[in-house]
Every structure is written in C-alpha cells, then in structure tokens.
Amino acid sequence: MAAVAAAAGTFARRMARSGVLFPRSSPQVWPQAARQPPGLLPAQRRAFSNNKILVELDTSSGVATMKFKSPPVNSLSLDFLTEFCISLEKLENDRACRGLIITSAIPRVFSSGLDITEMCGKSTEHYAEFWRAVQEMWIRLYGSNLVTVAAINGSSPAGGCLIALSCDYRIMVENPKYVIGLNEAQLGIVAPFWFKDTFVNAVGHRAAERSLQLGLLHSVPEAHRMGLVDEVVPEEKLQEKAVAVMAQWLALPDHARQLTKSMMRKTFRTLSSSHPKTPSRSHFQRTWRC
Ligand SMILES: CC/C=C\C/C=C\CCCC/C=C/C(=O)SCCNC(=O)CCNC(=O)[C@H](O)C(C)(C)COP(=O)(O)OP(=O)(O)OC[C@H]1O[C@@H](n2cnc3c(N)ncnc32)[C@H](O)[C@@H]1OP(=O)(O)O
C-alpha cells in the first residue's frame, strides 16, 4: 500500500514538473467554438513535441493531431504514458482545442501495447508507478471532453487496442497484415476489468466473451464486422476520413455532446476514485517469468 502511495506521488510529481495540473477530479466543459484571444493575430497552427509524441493543433478547426513516434513499436513505457498524459492535459487546457485525432508515425504499428520490459525485473515501487500511469492514461483518455478519433494505421494489440477503444470513433487502415484486439489471454495474463468493460462497450458481451477468452487478434475486416472499429479505409484516405468524422462530431454543441459522453462513460469514475490494487511484484514475475 505504501508503494502504491509512493508511486502515486512520483507520477504526480512527473506531471507537476510538466506544469500540468494534476489530478483533475471532474470533467470540464469547454466553450462551443474554438476561440482566439482578442487583439492577437490568429496563429493557425501550434505544435509541441517530446521524444515519444508529436502534437499539432490547427487552431482554425480546433482539431489536434497526436502522433506516436516511439520506435520500434510505440510500446507504452512509463515515459510514454507520462508524455501521453501531459500532452492530453495540455490540449484539454487549451481553449482552442475541441477534438483530437490519435495516430502513429511508426510504419505498420499503431501501438504494441504496454511495454513488456516495464513489467520485468523492476522494483515494487516501479510496478506501482507504472500501473498507476497505465490507469491514468485510460482515465484521462476515456474521460476526455475532447472528441477523440483513433486513426489506426497499423497493428494495435492489447494496450494499443485499449487506446483505440477509449476514443469516440475508430477508423482503421485496410491491410491484411494489421491486427487489433485484446490478446492478453494468449500471453497468459488477464485483461483488467476496465480493459474488458471498454471492449464490451464497443462489441457487446458475446463477441467480447469469445474474443477475450481466446485472446484473439482480429484482422481488419473482422474487427469492422464485430464493431471493434467503426470504419475501414485505404491508407491514403485515413487522414481525410478522420478529419471528416471529426467535423461531423464537432458540428454539435460541445456542452450537449460532452455531457452525453460523460453520462455514457460514467463508470470510469469508479476506477478514478478508487485506483485498484497494483499487481504485486510476484504476480509480474510469475506472469512474465522474469
Ligand atoms: C497484472 C500484473 C501482473 C502481470 C501482468 C498481468 C496483467 C497486467 C497487464 C494486463 C494488460 C496488458 C496489456 C498489454 O498491452 S501487454 C503487451 C501486449 N503486446 C503484445 O502482445 C504485442 C507484441 N508485439 C507484437 O505483436 C509485434 O511486435 C507488433 C506490435 C505487431 C509489431 O511487429 P513487428 O513490426 O514485426 O515488430 P517486432 O515484433 O519485430 O518487434 C520489434 C521490436 O519491438 C519489441 N516489442 C514488441 N512489442 C513490444 C512490447 N509490447 N513491449 C516492449 N517491446 C516490444 C520486440 O521485442 C522487438 O524488439 P527487438 O529488440 O527484438 O528488436
């Protein structure tokens, strides 16, 4: 328990060093239209970057694009998760931003999921901090007031699939080599209940039961058929489609859409208010044999 508390403190300090407020306990409601401060020349584009993620915000449309750029496979390390939360928080605090498109700058991979090297041979405190960061990523993204669109341009197993599932809409590139799903059971581990719930919310109970028990990674057409992704497009159409979908969602009044989203996703507050126990060191070691 002390380790969990220490990890919470460490993660909070990482976020605080970035200048980001932490944590935010309740959803914020943003103005309906992107606004420029009066008297300033409108800067059409703003960008910020770290060594894991690139973010570009088009202030005229209010749409930001977040590109994962952590070779080789955009695995979700503690550093990646921290940078993700910082970037998302910056966008949420930017009154010019109303929507977020998440995609990958790495060819053929959206995200390979949790970084397996973070779950081997580390201290109890590290596991606790890592796990806290995984939860925080999901809480912030699933509960975000922004319109979130996943533009999935590569394979997206396990934690990568969770990121896509946490968005409001998923568009995936048609490619016979790409797969998506929660394959934890294949790895001999169990997807946490909040992974499972997010999956069930997208595909329904029966499809989720089969897919999760078998740890299936689905082809793109199969993922589309079962509702795991909403749309499938050729690679060259991905960005255009993501922008079009975003425009459709942003055409609604923010407050009505945000409150509806918050109502539909209210279960996330359960986890938010009571972070479940961090898996023990022996659990990690047993699972990954390290
Ligand atoms: C609870 C606590 C106790 C125990 C754990 C139990 C539960 C908690 C966790 C539950 C939730 C877990 C969620 C997860 O996300 S686990 C991670 C699951 N991810 C995967 O299974 C993906 C594995 N990777 C792939 O399938 C392929 O790599 C991928 C993404 C399709 C890309 O293929 P390709 O382009 O061919 O690239 P390579 O396979 O050659 O990989 C290149 C390079 O990257 C390394 N790598 C791949 N995935 C990961 C990863 N997830 N973490 C870290 N590193 C990864 C791979 O080893 C290669 O490295 P190398 O040094 O050999 O070049």
**Residue among 112, 122, 180 to mutate when testing ligand 1 (max atoms within 8 A of CB):** 112
SS3 at position 171: strand
Q: How confident is the model at residue 32 (pLDDT cuts 50, 70, 90)?
A: very low
For the CA of 283, the nearest atom of ligand 1: 3
Cα 151 to chain centroid distance, Å, stands at 12
**Distance from residue 119's CA to the centre of ligand 1 (Å):** 11
> Integer distance in angstroms from the first to the last C-alpha of the chain?
23
Q: Please name which of 61, 10, 14, 2 lies closest in space to residue 35, comparing C-alpha atoms.
A: 61
Share the mean pLDDT of the chain.
87
- Top pLDDT among 27 and 65 is at 65
Lowest mean pLDDT: which of 43-57, 81-95, 147-161, 168-182?
Answer: 43-57
* Residue 190: φ, ψ to 5°: -115, 125
CB-based burial label for 99 (10 Å; 0-12, 13-18, 19+): buried
Q: How confident is the model at residue 247 (pLDDT cuts 50, 70, 90)?
A: very high
Q: How confident is the model at residue 61 (pLDDT cuts 50, 70, 90)?
A: very high
List all residues whose CB is within 6 A of at least one atom of ligand 1. Answer: 72-73, 75, 108-109, 112-117, 119, 155, 157-159, 183-184, 187, 189, 191-192, 279, 283-284, 287
- Top pLDDT among 65 and 3 is at 65
Active site residue 114: yes
Q: What pLDDT does residue 266 have?
A: 83
Whether the per-residue pLDDT at 142 is higher than 70: the answer is yes
Q: What is the pLDDT of residues 193-202, one digit of tens each?
A: 999 999 999 9
Opening angle at CA 133, ends 130 and 136, nearest 5: 155
* Residue 116: φ, ψ to 5°: -65, -30
